[in-house]
Amino acid sequence: MTEQTLAAEPINAKKEDLYSAKPWQLIWRRFSKHILAVISLWFLLILAFCAIFAEFVAPYEPFKVERLRTMAPPTGIHLFHEGQFVGPFVYAMERTRDPETTRVSYEPDTSEPLPIRLFVASSDYSFFGLFKTDIHLFGVEGGRRDQINLMGTDDLGRDVFSRLIHGARVSLSAGLVGVAFAFVLGLTLGSISGYFGGWIDGAIQRLMELIRSIPTIPLWMGLAAALPVVWDPLIVYVLITFILALIGWTYLARVVRGQFLALRNEDYVLAARLSGASEYRIITKHMLPSMTSYIIAALTLAVPEMILGETALSFLGLGLRPPVVSWGVLLQDAQNLRSISLAPWLLAPGGAVVLTVLAFNFLGDGLRDAADPYGQ
């Protein structure tokens, strides 16, 4: 009988690959089948790159006021000039004012194309305090008024695209820092709950239900309103993320607790214990490795909530305030009817929020589905 099993099928290299694939390889295989999740991952990676290197990616400074270029619509990008292909370029904008309504309007001056160049020199900035440079990812060369405004300008002539990129840094990092706070709280309380059980579990569960039953917006507003206006924007930023985390941890704690409870009853955990494994070994070798993929998925799914929270608070004027640039702050700037009808491009940060939130959700869904590559 032993021989019969031993003489089984010859080893097939391709199958062997699958059979000895590491857990994360299987997770990646499964994840990469989710097209939407993979696209979202790329989108978020690019967004993260833009946010980290905002000074480089943004063609202009976020605060640079251009009195003669207020409320300009997005600059059109062309490829053909007078029937001839010249590569991507823009036209300079001629500013005119309607004498009756005093309304400003812009007309392209089609006499001369302004080619879009990569790595152009423009305003100075310090690259993470390492060195000073004036190279930007893209831009147009020419006079002060020859600009490319991918998303138009606001009522002070500031470039909306540049502000959006700088806002991404604040909004994304607020989401991530908030999730990091929530992660610490959720992991600690969730594992205490799942590990000890009994009345401790009961008490933590009740606390979580209580927090979740409070309507979030009024709670945020109450907490945020308690922050003095005069405080340093950086402190306000940290406190805001902390407030978001105070509410967001319950979701993570629930995931962690559920995982702990499920894994405690796995036979392989009992097998390890019966082999003499210490609690430490059981937790680090058997429980945490199977939890990490779930926790990462849960963290990903928690980010959009944080971003929405920051946006909502700032939009209501209770969160971050100018001069800090976040998507919520930008949306608050656009918060009047005049801009919606005359300059709808000022709502671009809203689009950025929607896309980012969707991307995090798709990514999180993909990760969650791939988290257990062994389940059916």
Partner 1 sequence: MSELPIPNHASLPDDVLFSVRGLKKYFPIQAGWLKKHVGDVKAIDDVSLDIKKGETLGLVGESGSGKSTVARLMLRAYDLTDGQILFRRSNNEIVDLSKLTDREMRPLRAEMQMIFQDPYSSLNPRMTLLELVGEPMVIHGVGNAGEIKDRVAELLKVVGLRPEFINRYPHAFSGGQRQRIGIARALALNPSFIAADEAVSALDVSVAAQNINLLQDLQEQFGLTYLFITHDLGMVEHIADRVGVMYLGRLMEVAPTELLFSKPLHPYTEALMAAVPQPDPRGNRTRKRVPLKGEIANAANPPSGCSFHPRCPYAQAKCSAEVPALRTVAGGRQVRCHFAEELSLVGAVA
User: Is there binding between residue 11 and partner 1 (CB under 8 A)?
Assistant: yes
Scan residues 281-310 and list those touching partner 1 (CB under 8 A): 281, 286, 289-290
Residue 12 main-chain phi, psi, to 5 deg: -105, 120
- Nearest distance from C-beta of residue 295 to partner 1, angstroms: 15
CA 59 to chain CA mean position, Å? 21
Rounded Cα distance between 165 and 146, Å, is 21
Q: Binding residue for partner 1 (CB under 8 A) from 270, 322, 336, 340?
A: 270
CB neighbour list of residue 94: distance below 8 Å, 6 or more residues apart: 106, 107, 108, 109
Judged by CB under 8 A, which stretch of 3-11, 79-87, 215-223, 330-338 contacts partner 1? 3-11
Among 23, 73, 74, 142, binds partner 1 (CB under 8 A): 23
Q: At what angle do helices 348-370 and 23-31 cross, to 10 degrees?
A: 130
Q: 284 is written with which tokens?
A: 């680090």
- Nearest CB to partner 1, comparing residues 193 and 311: 193
Total of residues contacting partner 1 (CB under 8 A): 37
Residues 6+ apart with CB under 8 A from 128: none
Find the shortest distance in angstroms from Cβ 296 to partner 1.
15
> Which 8-state DSSP code applies to residue 283?
I
* Residue 29 makes contact with partner 1 by CB under 8 A: no
User: 75 with 192: CB under 8 angstroms?
Assistant: no
Q: Does 19 sit near partner 1 (CB under 8 A)?
A: yes
| Binding to partner 1 in span 357-376, by CB under 8 A | 374
Tokens at 121, concatenated: 């020199």
Contact flag: residue 201 with partner 1 (CB under 8 A)? yes
The DSSP element (H or E) to which 112 belongs, if any, is: strand 104-127
The pair phi, psi for residue 360, each rounded to 5°, is -65, -40
Lookup: tokens for 304: 């959009």
Window of 87-95, 187-195, 233-241, 277-285 that interacts with partner 1 by CB under 8 A: 277-285
Q: Which is nearer to partner 1, 15 or 97 (CB)?
A: 15
Residue 291 C-beta: closest distance to partner 1, Å: 11
Question: Could you say whether residue 342 binds partner 1 (CB under 8 A)?
Answer: no
Tell me which stretch binds partner 1 (CB under 8 A): 119-127, 169-177, 270-278, 337-345.
270-278
Stretch that binds partner 1, among 16-24, 42-50, 139-147, 315-323 (CB under 8 A): 16-24
* Binding of residue 280 to partner 1 (CB under 8 A): no
Alpha carbons 57 and 162: distance in angstroms, whole number: 8
State how far the alpha carbon of 333 is from the alpha carbons of 75, 144, 153, 311, in Å.
21, 25, 12, 12
Between residues 128 and 280, which has the closer beta carbon with respect to partner 1? Answer: 280
Stretch that binds partner 1, among 50-58, 61-69, 163-171, 195-203 (CB under 8 A): 195-203
Stretch that binds partner 1, among 15-23, 98-106, 161-169, 216-224 (CB under 8 A): 15-23
- Any alpha helices (H) in the chain, and if so which ranges? 2-6, 13-19, 23-31, 35-52, 54-57, 160-196, 198-213, 216-225, 233-264, 267-274, 279-281, 288-315, 327-333, 337-342, 348-370
Q: Is 124 in the site for partner 1 (CB under 8 A)?
A: no
Q: How far is the CB of 300 from partner 1 (least distance, A)?
A: 21
Q: In what order do the strands lie in the sheet with 104-127?
A: 78-81, 84-97, 104-127, 131-140
21 touching partner 1, by CB under 8 A:
yes
Footprint of partner 1 on this chain (CB under 8 A)?
1-2, 5-6, 8, 11, 15-16, 18-21, 23, 197-199, 201-203, 206, 266-268, 270-278, 281, 286, 289-290, 374
